[in-house]
Every structure is written in C-alpha cells, then in structure tokens.
Structure 1
Amino acid sequence: MSKNSQAYFVRNKIAYLSSYPPRECGIATFTKNLVVASNQLGIFRKPQVIAMNEKEAIYNYDRLVRCQIRRDVQKDYSEAADYINSSQVDLVNLQHEFGLFGGEWGEYINCFLDKLQKPVVSTLHTISPSFEPKAQSVLKQIAKHSSKIVTMTNTATRILMTYDVPRSKIEIIQHGCPNVSFVDSNKVKPSLFGLKGKLVLSTFGLLSRSKGIQYVIKALPEVVDKYPKIVYLVIGETHPEVRKFEGERYRKRLIKLVDKLDLQDHVKFHNRFLLERELIKYLQATDIYITPSLEPNQISSGTLVYAMGAGKAIIATPYLHAQEVLAENRGLLCKFRDHRSITHAIIQLLEDYELRKNMERKVYSYSRDFTWARVAKRYAELFRRMINS
C-alpha cells in the first residue's frame, strides 16, 4: 500500500456490532481478536464497538465500547442506529448469531438495520441448511441490508446461496487463530501441573450438552488399558446461558460418569474461562485434540480453528466445519454419538506416531493462511472496498 493511499484510508472508521469481552462468549472473543488485529494494521481510525448485552447483564467494558444494546429491548436497536448515523463511523461490521439478538429468531437486529444509513458487512457464525421459515426470513432481511456477507467456509457459502443470496454478495474469510509457535508437546507439559510424562487429550470451550464430552469419557477405559498415562483435559466453564437455566447439571453428570468408569486419575476438569495465553499453553501441551460436537450443521468452530493453529492432531465428529477444514488427511473424523468410534480414532493416532506427526504438520501449515493478522487484512480490504463503493 502506498503512503498516499494509507493516508486516505486512515480517515475511515469501523464500528463492530457484537457481543464483546468481558462477556464470556465465543463471538465476543472472535470480535475482540478481530478488533485488536485490525488496529495493528494501522489502516483505520480507532474503532467503536456496539456491545450486545443479555438480559440484566452489566459489564465493565473497555473504552472501545461506545454504545450498548439490551438484547430484549427493541428500542435500543433503533437508538443504536441513530447513534451510528450521527457519528463519524463509515461502516458497520455485524457479527451475527441468532441467539445474540432479541425477538423471534433474533429479528430485532433488523430494527437496527432498517434505520442504519451506513454500509454493513455481516459476518455469519450460524448457517444451517434446514432453517425454519422465520429464521430464513430474518436471514434474508440481513442479507438485503448488507453490502457483503462474510462466511467462513465454502460449505456455508453454498448453503447461503440456497436462501437466494447471490454468490457475488458473499465473501469467504476463514475464522482466525492466534499465530503461535509449532512446538513439541513434551516441551510444554512440565510447565503445567500434573502433565509431565502424560499423554494429553483435550477439549476446550464453554460447556454445554451439545459438546458431546460424555462420548469421549466413555471412549477412555479401553484407551487407558493400553495407555495408562492418558489424561483427558476438559477445559472451560459452563456456558453462561446454559448455567442460567440448569446450573452445573451437565458438568455434574460428566463427573458422575468419570466416577462410574473409575477414571478420576485420567479426566481433569478446568472449570474456568481461560485467558488466551493460558489456553494456548494447554493446546501446545496437547497430543490429540478432540471436538466431539453433536451438531451436524455446525458451520463455525473457534475451538477447532485454535487447535489447528497450534498444530494439533485432531479427532472430530463430522460436523460441517470439521468436514471441510480437516479434509485431505488434516484430521480424523469419528461418528456422532459413538464412543467406540472415538476409542478407535484415539488408539489409531497413539499407535501410529508418524501419522500423528504428519497430521500435525499438515494442519499447522494449513492454518498459516488464517492467523488473525491475515484474517484482519482480508477484512480491512473488504471494508475498504465497501466504503469506496
């Protein structure tokens, strides 16, 4: 980029409408990483964030958050649009997942988009081939108001086109991951309590029933018989929205299963929301990462992408995102809700050292294309094009 063009673009200002830390939410983390990486490019002015709050939530946000929307208060959406219209913001990036917004299938977001007079680029975190009519209607309205729609996979793009969104309106930008070093797990394990000399399996993320953790636990007895140094780390607290309705019921069920199978020395729960640097360290200490999601239509998984970015051998159920990014022998797919399939995959990777190491190298090399710096650059180029047009 020339100095003259950079001087021109630095006048532009982006606002991000999303959940945002300290709210504990995958999309909040995604947005924070995108904002930080975009700032480091030095192309735009200091951004603003319009933060989505769930019912009765109060957060101590950083200074980038200039406006807050209460999810279930419809007038907040219109008022936020008025605020953006009167500001120096040149473009809004909407980070969309239906559950973030109020109304049926999050329809209140269209109250914001109806009034907004600035261009919008919408990033879709949830796209399903089997949306019910109301969800399709909300999605089509978002697409109508958006200058561009960002999807994270080719599969998501194909699904979106079945809802009459033209291919020319869709941009594919993969989910970002931290740019971390490719290291031998055995070099990291001694720095983490209890992991020295262990074979480490892990799963991380906000806990909910859809994660399928119980199937990994059920898979372990046969693995432990062959490999008694196995430790399975379940990293992350219960999802805040799940905790509101059922407390820690799912985690307690998992703990009871561990006790029943006599796996207390082989399954460890880390019940907290880890800082990114802590999470990276645990990933680097991992020998096999397992993502046993029970959602076949899951089109975006930040936990999967982070494991790829750390260069891990990965076992996943064949949800849509995993099928695409783990193709060409970048990972192993197991069956949904089938602990025997997981057992077989774990043992296969532990018995075949070269297979595991080749998989690690392949997935790490593949992930270099979507480190946060590269993802932010693609977003910046897209924002620039939309502002200029």
Structure 2
Amino acid sequence: MGVGESYKLNIVFVSRYPPMHCGVAEYTRHLISAMHSIASWNKFAVLTSTVEGNKSWYDEVLDVKVIPAFSEQDRSYRKLLDELGYMDRTDILHVEHEYGIFGESLKLVEAVKTAREEKLVRKAVITMHTVTHPSSGDKRGVFQMHLNEFDAVVVHSILQEFELQCQGVDPRKIYRIPHGTLINPYLEFPRQVLAESLGIATESLKGAVIAIPGFLRPDKGIDILFSALSYLKGIDKTVLVAGEPRDQRIVELIEELREEHNIILMDRYLSSDEILRVIGLADILVLPYRDKPGTYSVSGILHLSMGGLKPIIGSRTPRLVELYQYVPRLTVPPGDCVELAKRIKWVINNYDYAVPYM
C-alpha cells in the first residue's frame, strides 16, 4: 500500500555535507540514511555551506540534492531563503548547528523567523551539537537565549539538556536524542583483511592494537596517550593513530616516538567506512580527550567506537559523558597519563572481562 500525500514530508537540512571533511557533515548523512531506511517516502534535501564552492551536487545513494546556500564567512542567509522559496513545500527545516560553522550571530535565527513568516517552512528544528555554559565567557550564550524561536531543540547529552533548561529554553521544546550508534559491519573480518584494506602491513601489527581515531587535534589528548605509553614498556602493543592532522605539532610528536612505541600513523582524512575498519581492526579504543571549560558536546567517534563492541578507555569529560555513565571503570581523570596507563594495562591483562563489561 502506498503512503498518502499527507504523510509524505519534505525535510530540508541546513548543514555541511560530505565530501566536506567535517564531523557534522558525516552526522547529517548518517541521519538522513537512517531516516530514509524507515521512511523512504519522505523527501530530503540539504542546504549547505559555500565553503567548497557554489555548485550543487547530488547524493545518488540517498537521493538527496545538496545546494550551497549560505556563507560561513559573512553569515549570510539570503540565498538560503531564496532556495527555500524555489522549493514546493518545506515541512521541516532542520539546522545542524555547530558554532564553528554558523558562529554565534543571530542572523541564523532571524533567517528562520523570516522563513516561517513568509510561510516557506512549516516547522523549524535545530540540533545543538555544542552547548556552552556562561562560564566560558563567550557570546554563545546570547545565541542560546534565542533558541525558543525554534519549534524543537535537539541535543545529544543530558548535560546539554539541563544546561539549556537553566538558560531559559522551554523544556517542552528540548528533545534529548542519543547521537546514534551503528553496529560495526566489520566485526567478524580477519585482521589481515582489514589491515590490507587500510594500506597497513599486517606484520607491523604486534600485540594489542590500541587505536585513537579521528581528527588529530590538541583536544584529542594524543600527547596524554603517548605519556601513558612510557609506563607500558615491555607490553607487546601497536598504537594506531588514524585521522586528518589539524595540528602539525602532533604529527611531529608522532614521528619522534614512532619507533619507540610501534606507532602506525594514517595522517589523512578518513571516510566513515574507513574509520569503521580502523575500529574493527583495533583491540582497544583510547579517547583521552581534554574539553574546553564550559563546553558541552558529544563525541561522534565515541559512538562509532561503541558500535565496534571493543573496550573503550576515555577521559571523564562532557564529550564522553555516556562512557562515564555506563562503563565508569574504564574512564580516567582528564590529563592523567598514569591512570590511563593503568587502565590500558588492566584491559590488556583482563581482555575477556573488559569486552563484556562494555
């Protein structure tokens, strides 16, 4: 039986989108894929950033048209409103908000209000990928004060939910929806197959494979992991660092310690599928993050790692709050390399217990 026209929704996302190298872009594509799998009769489009040009493209796999429609430089949304006007009907406008993309300017809120007033959209939703506490001292709190202009505000973390409540966002508009976890399709693949698919020589993998996937930035705590490794001498292991460098100093540190700790570096942007293969190859995932004070977000890498059903060791930071909630024994205080080394050693020596503990 077909679906009646009244049940078919036109859903337009405002977000970055692959092939842009961005976690929010990957998240948006995963979300559309999931929604398409349960409600394929709905129609999806993406109004994206002009950061990589003004030419539209088409995601044939998901049947999604992607239209560059806003500038990250001057925060202009006039073209976004024009594109909405060209569309037949937009039932839901869904903004995938990250301050690094949209900034803290109120121009986005004003554009959404205009779209509603001109009847270009029926409902406006925003997902806040990052929420800030007033103690952060920046202007982002001003933007968050205007979130009641949206029909719904989606967050991924319990910390984000109650922080927005405290800042005056109507609790009836806040929906906490978990980030989403994909069960890794490479769980049963042999190590050799996964290694070769990633361009890694199988013979270079010795002992437990400890992986830290994702963009190589200072906040990922890679230096903390390397400090912890100095307490793990004599333990057979391979450290797999996989992700696009965002700080050259991290690459230099890796090169300096590569031989001492048997470090394999994949210093390039990895697609979601490649990250899943890295996680499938790993025995242990280590996320020694350090968060900026007053900032609440949720790690996409954490959720991809959770789908690998492997032990995850991480720091007690807002980004990893779910790890702390569900497997507290595998978490450590931020920046504590000694405790991190102890957890890694415990997992290696008690692996058969650590796996079901997850």
- TM-score normalized by the length of structure 2: 0.86
Alignment partner, residue 62 of structure 2 = none
The secondary structure found in structure 2 opposite 1:49 is: strand
Counterpart of 1:92 in structure 2 is: 93
- Equivalent residue letter for 2:250: Y
Deviations 1:262-305, CA, capped at 9 Å, x for gaps: 525x1111011222222212211211101111106442100011
Further displaced range: 129-138 or 164-173: 129-138
Contact 1:314 1:331 in 2 (8 A): no
Query: Aligned to 2:325, what secondary structure does the other structure show?
Result: coil
Residue 354 (structure 2) pairs with residue 356 (structure 1): yes
What is the Cα-based RMSD across aligned positions, in Å? Answer: 2.4
1:116 matched to which residue of 2?
A: 115
For residues 35-76 of structure 1, what are the alpha-carbon distances to aligned partners after superposition, in whole Å with 9 as ceiling and x for unaligned? 12222223543311010233x7567743511342121234x4
For 1:58 and 1:238, the matched residues in 2 are separated by: 26
Q: Deviations over 1:318-339 (max 9, x none)?
A: 1124233442436611121221
Provide the secondary structure at the position in 2 that maps to 1:327: helix
Give the 3-state SS of the residue equivalent to 2:96 in structure 1: strand
Structure 1 or 2: larger helix share? 1
The residue aligned with 2:79 is 79
CA distance in 1, matches of 2:271, 2:344: 28
Task: Please list the CA deviations of residues 146-168 of structure 1 after superposition, one character each: whole Å capped at 9, or x if unmatched.
Answer: 10001112221111111111211
Correspondences of 1:133-282 after superposition (within 5 Å): 134-141=139-146, 143-181=147-185, 183=187, 188-191=190-193, 192=195, 193-195=200-202, 198-225=207-234, 227-228=235-236, 230-239=237-246, 248-256=248-256, 258=257, 262-263=259-260, 266-282=262-278
Asked if the contact 2:314/2:323 (under 8 Å) is kept, the reply is no
Give CA-to-partner distance per residue, 1:52-107, whole Å, 9 cap, x none: 233x7567743511342121234x403312431452221111001111025xx244
Moved over 4 A (4+): 56-60
C-alpha distance 59-252 of structure 1, shift in aligned 2 (>3 A)? farther
Q: Secondary structure at the match of 2:355?
A: helix
Contact 2:206/2:238 (CA < 8 Å) preserved in 1? no
Superposed displacement of residue 188, structure 1: 2.8
Residues in 1 aligned to 2:164 and 2:287: alpha-carbon distance in whole angstroms: 25
Does the CA contact (< 8 Å) of 2:132 and 2:141 recur in 1? no
Instruction: Determine helix, strand or coil for the equivalent of 1:224.
Output: coil
Asked if the contact 1:16–1:94 (Cα under 8 Å) also holds between the matched residues in 2, the reply is yes
Once the two structures are superposed, residues 164-204 of structure 1 have per-residue CA deviations (whole angstroms, 9 ceiling, x without a partner) of: 112111111111232325846xx532221344553100111
TM-fit CA distance, 1:140: 1.9
Rounded Cα–Cα distance in structure 1 between residues aligned with 2:84 and 2:143? 22
Distance in structure 2 (CA, Å) of the matches to 1:255 and 1:197 = 18
Q: Which residue of 2 aligns with 1:68?
A: 69
Q: Residue 9 and residue 354 in structure 1: after superposition, are their counterparts in 2 closer, same or farther (change >3 A)?
A: farther
CA distance in 1, matches of 2:224, 2:152: 39
The whole-number CA distance in structure 2 between the counterparts of 1:349 and 1:312 is 10
Note the C-alpha offset of 1:351. 1.5
Which structure has more relative contact order (CA 8 Å, sep 6+)? It is 1
**Separation of aligned partners in 1, 2:325 and 2:69:** 40
Q: Deviations for 1:202-227, whole angstroms, at most 9, x for unmatched residues?
A: 111111111110110111133231x1
SS of 2:168's partner is coil
1:379 equivalent in structure 2 = none
For the residue of structure 1 that corresponds to 2:81, the secondary structure is helix
Q: Give the number of the structure whose residues are more often strand, by fraction.
A: 2
Aligned with residue 13 of structure 1, among 10, 13, 23: 10
Q: Aligned residues: percent identity?
A: 21
Q: Distance in 1 between matches of 2:254 and 2:6?
A: 52
